[in-house]
Amino acid sequence: MAEVHKAQKVVVVGAGPVGALAALYAANRGDDVHVYELRADLRDPSTTPLNFTKSINLALSERGINSMRQSQSVGLLEEVLKETIPMHARMIHGRRKGGELFQESQAYDANGRYIQAVDRASLNKRLLEALEKLPNVTLHFNHKLTGADFDRKTAWFEQHNNAKKTDHAQNPTQNDALWDDQKRATEISVNFDLIIGADGAHSATRYHMMKFARLDYQQEYIDTLWCEFHIAPRSPDSSFAIDPNHLHIWPGGSFMFIAIPSLDKSFTCTLFAPASHFSSVSENPEQKLVKFFHQNFPGVCPELISTSDLQKQFRENPHLPLISIKCKPYHYKSSVVILGDAAHAMVPFYGQGMNAGLEDVRVLFDILDKHGIYDAGTSDHRSRNEAREAALDEYTSQRAPDAAAINDLALRNYEEMRSGVQSPLYKMRKWMEETVNVYFPSLGWRTQYTRVSFENQRYSEVEKAVHRQGRILMGVVGLSLVGIGGLTAFGGVRRDYWKNLGTTWLSQVEK
């Protein structure tokens, strides 16, 4: 723990994955940390409110893993990884022209790296358990941020009694606001040195920050809804119904169905489709739903989900929107910073929303450390405030372009997942980039997916590097088309010759 004379009081709003990790980083640096969470403690089964707005399973990858690795919480990452399932590849499902079903495995990475399926609640629980071990952390559940004065460094929370959310759980259409009204609340005021707002896409911290900072804000609901389904373990042996080490995709052109494995050998599936498809199917699910699945997602119903289960799940599980949010700056003076979905909610098609949020935490604390916030010499109130303001300025400048880049990449990846993965052009580019990666590693070529999911390169730099690779590949393809015909005509060409030629040419173009 760094040497500090007086602990800063850090208030974290939201105990989701990002807020909980941010609280751990602050606590491990000696801050006096208070976490305020709207909902009840998700580890308590009697009061746990079901969260109807979040998917159950997530893909965890390098950025999230690295952020937990660097949290200074011994054993945390190991505990989390124990409860994950490796997904080495995409499994593309489809039907050939003759009607025969096929599956095609597409490895995620030329060097065998993989993403991990993780249960959102287990991950969150492991983080809360790690927090609870620290003496300088206080968790306040059932507390809702309702206001903040970021100049006076005071925030207000409604403290709710432990009202059971049973009725709400049975009636997911009843919204949180209504549920909140039914509970008696008392308001408390809280002083702080720094607030970290990690209260999700509809962030109250961001809303109140807008009254102080000149915050540019942009949000978009894409024309896609999602609904969760469930593939039960196969009976009678309770094994996985399909290969567990894949993220399964049924690309359907303008829609898509995916399945992610769970530790109990079931799969959590998500249907993504335009809102009009949902309305059209909802008009008569008994007739339209199975037909829709049969036409677009072959092999799902009745093979993996029975007709009655499919209809029941479509009827009972909510049909939810997808929001993409960009804003800037992420902070106001030295008193508040927003992280995770609160700063940059994105569509889920790169599996990066939570990973990027966890990476926010690592980047923020690297910058706070760099500005000496935790050095003994910066412990007096004034110099620490100045250093923190400079650090938060730098955080916004560095992170906003990165978050904007992954936001855009995630939007574009929808196209790739629902149809691109089957296109010959996509497959050719993937093959070429991976071949260059394997045979000419010194050139540093990697696919976009590898850079995003298995590395910690800044997202904005990933975007630039991939763009540059794309331009070079276009040149290579053009030259190859002309050259291959000619060289083949002149007879065999030695592999060494190709290798030298390739290395020289590509390094010239990279410059």
144 binds ligand FAD (CB under 6 A): yes
- In one-letter notation, the amino acid at residue 230 is H
CB of 84 to ligand FAD, least distance (A): 12
Q: Which of 17, 261, 299, 372 binds ligand FAD (CB under 6 A)?
A: 17
Per-position x/- string for 224-263, each x denoting binding to ligand FAD as judged by CB under 6 A, each - no binding: --x-------------------------------------
Helix (H) or strand (E) holding 194: strand 194-197
User: Are 340 and 19 within 8 A, CB to CB?
Assistant: yes
Interface with ligand FAD (CB under 6 A), residue total: 33
Work out the number of other CB atoms within 10 angstroms of the CB of residue 97: 5
204 binds ligand FAD (CB under 6 A): yes
Helices (H), 210-300: 275-283, 285-296
Q: For the chain, how many helices (H) and strands (E)?
A: 17, 19
Which of 484, 473, 464 lies closest to 404 in space, CA to CA?
464
Angle at 404 between CA 400 and CA 408, to 5 degrees: 175
Q: Which of 277, 340, 437, 448 binds ligand FAD (CB under 6 A)?
A: 340
> Which tokens is 471 given?
């331009």
CB of 438 to ligand FAD, least distance (A): 27
- In one-letter notation, the amino acid at residue 262 is S
CB of 26 to ligand FAD, least distance (A): 15
Q: Which stretch binds ligand FAD (CB under 6 A): 196-204, 326-334, 374-382, 430-438?
A: 196-204
Residues in 402-421 at the binding interface with ligand FAD, rule: CB under 6 A: none
Q: Which of 108, 357, 364, 463 binds ligand FAD (CB under 6 A)?
A: 357
Cα–Cα distance between 413 and 6 in angstroms, integer?
A: 47
State whether residue 27 is helix, strand or coil: helix
> Which tokens is 378 given?
């910066």
Residue closer to ligand FAD (CB basis): 219 or 238: 219
CB of 341 to ligand FAD, least distance (A): 4
Q: Which of 4, 30, 52, 55 binds ligand FAD (CB under 6 A)?
A: 55
Length of the chain measured in residues: 511
CB of 55 to ligand FAD, least distance (A): 4
State whether residue 328 is helix, strand or coil: strand
> Can you give the binding site for ligand FAD, defined by CB under 6 A?
13-19, 36-39, 54-55, 58-59, 144-145, 198-200, 204, 226, 270, 340-342, 348, 351-355, 357
